Amino acid sequence: MLISLRRLALLGLVAASSVAGKGAIGIKQGKVAVTSSDGLGDATYTLKEPTPLPSPITLTEGSTFKLSFSVVDTTSGESVYPQQAHLLFEDPKGNDVTLPVSVKSNGKAQITVNTAKPHPALLTTHGSFHLTLLLSSLDSLEPLALPLGQLSLPPSILKPIPRKRHDLPPRQGEPAFQPQQEIFHTFKEDPKTVGWTLSIIGTVVTLAPWTVLLGLLGKISPSLNFQTPTVSSYIFLLVLGALEALIFVYWLRLKLYHLLPAFLGLSVIATYTGIVALRELRARRLKAGGAP
C-alpha cells in the first residue's frame, strides 16, 4: 500500500516535471579522493560539472580511488534517486567495463576502486581507462554523461586479457578464423659436386697414357710392315665400330630392351664378318709364309 502510494507520488512528480519542462540530473558535492598506503600521491579533487579531473590519476599498489557525490535535479535542487548510476571505464583498446555506483535513497552516491581488493572485471583489461559517469532516470529527467578524466591501474595487479572469439591460435578442434603464420620448408643441402677444374685435371690424367702409347708406337712403326687391309677386314672393322657405337648410344639414351636385340643382331653379323675377314687374313699370312 505504502509502496504504491510512493509510486503514485513519483508518477505525480514525473507528470508535474514533464508538464513544467524536464529537469536535468546533475551532481552536487562531487569529490574524488585518492588515498594510498604510504601516503605519497594522496590527493582530493572536487568535481564541478562539466569540468573533468585536472590530471590523469595513476593508482599504485595498495591505493584507493573513491568517488562520492550527491545526485540532484539541477532545476529544482532536490535530491533524486536515479535509475541508472554507472561509472564507465573506457579502454581505448576496446575492453570497456561499466561498474554500478551505489546510491542511497537520499541521493548520496559513492564508488570505490581499491587496488588491494579490486573488482575482478577491472583486472582482465589493459589497465588505463577514460572514466565517464552515467546518470539517468528514464524520461523524467535529462540524463548526464560526465567525462571524469583518466585513471590507470598498477600493471602488477592486472590479469591476462581473455581470448577473443577468433584469436589465434584456435582452440583444439576448431578452425582458424584468421590467416596463420606462413610455413616454409628448409631443404636438405644439395650433395657436394666436383667442379670443372678437377674434372679437366682428371681428364688430362686419364688421357696421359695415350702419350705413352703413341710415343711407343712411333718408336716401333719403322720396323713394322704395313700392308693395306683386305676389304673384308674393313667391313669387319666397320661392324666392330658399329657395336661400339651401339654401346655408346645405349649409354646415352636407350633402354636395355632396345639394346639387347640390336646387340645380338650386330654380334651375329660381327661373328660372320669376323670369320670371313680372319680367314682371308690367315690365307694371306700363309701365302706370305708366316705362322698358320
Partner 1 sequence: MRPSSLLLAPILSLVSLAAARSATGDKVLVVLEPSLKKDDYSNFWKSLQDRGFELTFKEPKDRDAELVKYGELKYDHLVMFAPGAKTYSPTLSPKSILHAQFAGLNTLYVLSPDLTENNKEFLREYDLEFIDSSQTLIDPFNHPVDSSSSTVSLSPTSSLVQDIGEIVSPSTLSGGPIIYPSGTVHTTGDNPYLIDVLHASKYAYIGQDKLLSSDEAEVDKSLNAKGTKEPILNGKKATLVSALQTRDNVRVGFVGSTEMIKDIWWDKEVKTKDGKSIKTGNAGFISDFSKWIFQETGVVKIVDSTHHRKGETEPRELYTKKDDITYSLTLAKHYTTSNGTSAWGLFEVDDIQLEFTMLDPHIRTALKQDESAVVEQGTNYKARFDAPDRHGVFKFVVEYWRPGWSYLRSSQTASVVPLRHDEYPRFIVGAWPYYIAACSTSLTFLAFCALWVSLGEGDKDRKGKKKAE
Residues 214-233 that bind partner 1 (CB under 8 A): 224-230, 233
Task: Write the CB contacts of 32 (distance below 8 Å, at least 6 apart in sequence).
Answer: 44, 45, 47, 53, 57, 65, 66, 67, 148
Q: Of these, 37, 248, 265, 272, which contacts partner 1 (CB under 8 A)?
A: 248
Q: How far is the CB of 41 from partner 1 (least distance, A)?
A: 26
- Report DSSP letters for 238-261, one per residue: HHHHHHHHHHHHHHHT--HHHHHH
Cβ-based nearer residue to partner 1, 45 or 111: 111
Cβ-based nearer residue to partner 1, 237 or 268: 237
DSSP state of 220: H
Cβ-based nearer residue to partner 1, 37 or 199: 199
And the C-alpha cell for 21? 519542462
Asked whether position 103 contacts partner 1 by CB under 8 A, the answer is yes
Burial 222-231 (b: 16+ CB within 10 A, else e): eeeeeeeeee
Cβ-based nearer residue to partner 1, 31 or 130: 130
- Report DSSP letters for 98-113, one per residue: EEEPEE-TTSEEEEEE
Residues 130-149 interacting with partner 1 (rule: CB under 8 A): 132, 134, 136-140, 143, 145
Cβ-based nearer residue to partner 1, 39 or 209: 209
* Count of residues interacting with partner 1 (CB under 8 A): 91
Q: Of these, 54, 156, 196, 211, which contacts partner 1 (CB under 8 A)?
A: 196
Residues 65-94 interacting with partner 1 (rule: CB under 8 A): 81, 83-84, 86, 88, 90, 94
Q: Of these, 19, 21, 165, 257, which contacts partner 1 (CB under 8 A)?
A: 165
| Cα–chain center distance at 126 | 23
CA 153, CA 251: separation in Å to the nearest integer?
81
Residues 117, 119, 123, 124, CA torsion sign: positive
Q: How far is the CB of 143 from partner 1 (least distance, A)?
A: 4
Contact by Cβ (8 Å): 129, 91: yes
Asked whether position 200 contacts partner 1 by CB under 8 A, the answer is yes
How many C-beta atoms lie closer than 10 Å to residue 277's C-beta? 21
Strands 84-90 and 97-100: antiparallel
And the C-alpha cell for 251? 649409354
CA 283, CA 292: separation in Å to the nearest integer?
8
Asked whether position 121 contacts partner 1 by CB under 8 A, the answer is yes
Cβ-based nearer residue to partner 1, 39 or 182: 182
Asked whether position 202 contacts partner 1 by CB under 8 A, the answer is yes
Q: How far is the CB of 290 from partner 1 (least distance, A)?
A: 3
Asked whether position 54 contacts partner 1 by CB under 8 A, the answer is no
Half-sphere exposure of 203 (CA within 13 A, CB side): 7
Q: Of these, 187, 211, 215, 257, which contacts partner 1 (CB under 8 A)?
A: 187
Q: Of these, 16, 40, 205, 256, which contacts partner 1 (CB under 8 A)?
A: 205
Cβ-based nearer residue to partner 1, 32 or 101: 101
Q: Of these, 199, 265, 272, 283, which contacts partner 1 (CB under 8 A)?
A: 199
